[in-house]
Amino acid sequence: MWCANVGSVSTNPPPGAERSHRARPRKDRRQALIDAAIELLAEGNSADISAAAISRRAGVAHGLLFYYFTDKQGLVAAALADVLANLAEFQEPEAGEQSVRARVEGFVRRHIEFLERHRALYVRVIREGELGDSVVEDAVRKARAEGAQQVAALAELSEPLSALQSAAISGWTGFLDRTADAYFDTPDLELDAVVELIVDTFEAVVAATHSPPETGNRDQ
């Protein structure tokens, strides 16, 4: 279907589309498409996210979507990357968070608040994988890796992390997101209790990496 759409793009766009094409600098047109895709995805499953709908919302010529992103999947990946790029900054500690515990609590709370703020997009693209795992897998993996590095720094763990520490914190980031899912889906859960649980788990995970149990050679 997308190939057919590409082939049907006119070389002589209608006057309104041409005016919008000329009115925006090139960088702004690309960003307008990303912003429009984010807005439409955030409106939930009922929103039309066709190439035509995204272009209309962005106020740019239809063919520009394919020029900048090749296809809709490319645009969605760029839109998701744009949202996730703001996550690390949003999770940064606030001035009053002086202790390690306070910084990690702030990190976790803001992470959950960020997911909640972008709830419709998160559910549609990440949880439900509506547009295909291949579209979002790299962006999510990168965001989780950056989050793991960020929380390790907030916890003042010495660099470089050991292989065991890296594996443990990577696993904890998955726990963070799954527990956030449970919070969103369970009205009886309080955010403060969820944050405390996640931070307690982080502390336990980090403590476990300092003195791994003697289990013998796993190859035996």
- What sign does the dihedral 154-160-164-166 (CA atoms) show? positive
Average pLDDT value over all residues in the chain:
82
Tell whether the model's pLDDT for residue 218 goes beyond 60. no
47 and 95 in one domain? Answer: no
Contact 57, 39 (CB under 8 A): yes
Tell whether the model's pLDDT for residue 214 goes beyond 70. no
Task: Give the helix/strand (H/E) hosting 173.
Answer: helix 163-185
Q: Is 9 exposed, middle or buried (0-12, 13-18, 19+ CB in 10 A)?
A: middle
pLDDT-based confidence at 24, cuts 50/70/90? low
Contact 11, 95 (CB under 8 A): no
State the DSSP code for 122: I
Query: Tell me: the pLDDT tens digits for 62-85?
Result: 899 999 998 888 888 888 888 888
- What sign does the dihedral 39-43-49-52 (CA atoms) show? negative
SS3 60: coil
Phi, then psi, of 62 in degrees rounded to 5: -50, -45
184 and 98 in one domain? Answer: yes
Give the pLDDT of residue 2: 32
Report in angstroms the alpha-carbon separations of 77 from 72, 126, 142. 9, 11, 12
Q: How many domains does the chain have?
A: 2
158 in a structural domain = yes
96 and 202 in one domain? Answer: yes
Query: Tell me: the pLDDT tens digits for 106-115?
Result: 999 999 999 9
pLDDT-based confidence at 88, cuts 50/70/90? confident
114 and 74 in one domain? Answer: no
177 and 102 in one domain? Answer: yes
Q: How wide is the angle at C-alpha 47 spanned by C-alphas 44 and 48, nearest 5°?
A: 145
68 and 91 in one domain? Answer: no
64 in a structural domain = yes
2 in a structural domain = no
Give the pLDDT of residue 119: 86
- What sign does the dihedral 98-109-147-178 (CA atoms) show? positive
Query: Tell me: the pLDDT tens digits for 145-204?
Result: 899 999 999 999 999 999 999 999 999 999 999 999 999 999 999 999 999 999 999 999
Q: How far apart are CA 18 and CA 148, in angstroms?
A: 45
SS3 107: helix
166 and 72 in one domain? Answer: no
